[in-house]
Structure 1
Amino acid sequence: MNNFFPILYLSIIIILLLMFSIMLSAQLIDFYIKNRIYKALSNKIIINENRLSIAEYYQLSCICVYNNLLYEAIDRLQTGIKNSNSTSKDYLYNNYTLLANVYEKLNQLTLAIKYYNNALNIYDDNSLILKKLASLYSQQKNFHKVSEIYQQILLYEPDNYDIQVKLKKVTDILRY
């Protein structure tokens, strides 16, 4: 009986280490794949003199964000937007939202708001973007704008109790 506990203990440790090893291997494979895509797209930029599709710029930017290369992501996204054509509405929307998200991470709220608004110009009924904008305006203490956005969200989601409560709080703030 005394020999059973050390074997059980070692078995549990081995299982935990095996699970940790599998998770680490999966992350390493993911990193390797993203690194290969990053290198391939970077080489393509050099060969093609900055002429990637907007989808490729978006993919490259996502990898940059994943690796916390935020300023490089901004550069790639802006180049992708500049080189895009008007038929790539979905990709343009994705680029604007990712660019806004990056600026938000860098705490550059004015630029984040600008690019969320650009995304909203493409799909104006997107309540997720509207909620992001309300949050950013709230951080800037621009409660009049927050109130307008909450009212706009309620046009698309009239039964959204959370937004109704937030609108009431903002309205109370504006009264005082």
Structure 2
Amino acid sequence: MIDSKLLPKLSQNLFEILDDEEYNDITIKFGNDPYKNDGTLINIKLPNILPETFQIILRYIYGRNLSLQELIPYLETFLIENKKNWIEQNFDLIYQTSFESNSFLELRKYCTNLISKETTKIFNSPNFSSIPEKLLIMLIQSHHQMREIQVWEHIIKWRLAQNPELPSDPTSFQKMISIL
């Protein structure tokens, strides 16, 4: 059986090796700041990974300790800078997630900005019909660049998706209104 004090001590030793430049025998280049050493045995280039992000990954490899909280700012930056279309297509999910936790402040800010400046993209996203009513109200209130008839059409589309039993033929609406 392994001594319960051995694993924490071994993990600490691995972290010390990570921080000690004497035993580095791998060169890994990422971002614009390559991590170099003498006596290279292996050379790996990862130009799309920021040095700070890779440091977090190395700490996991050496010590099996990964703090996802540390990765959040890098993930947010990556999504905002490289995956704008994906954010727009999955706006309802990203928006809700950004407000469920105080960890996603940059995504929240990006979503709020998208609502105020590019409402049309959200109205035209494939998942528009599944957005919550609260978000729909925010969109309606900030529809500055859309004509009211377009906004109305999106509201009807959203309402029909929420209540599939309603008739989708607009002439039926007129009949329903006259009955009321």
Q: TM-score, normalised by structure 1?
A: 0.33
Higher helix proportion: 1
Higher strand proportion: 2
Q: TM-score, normalised by structure 2?
A: 0.33
Higher Cα Rg: structure 1 or 2? 2
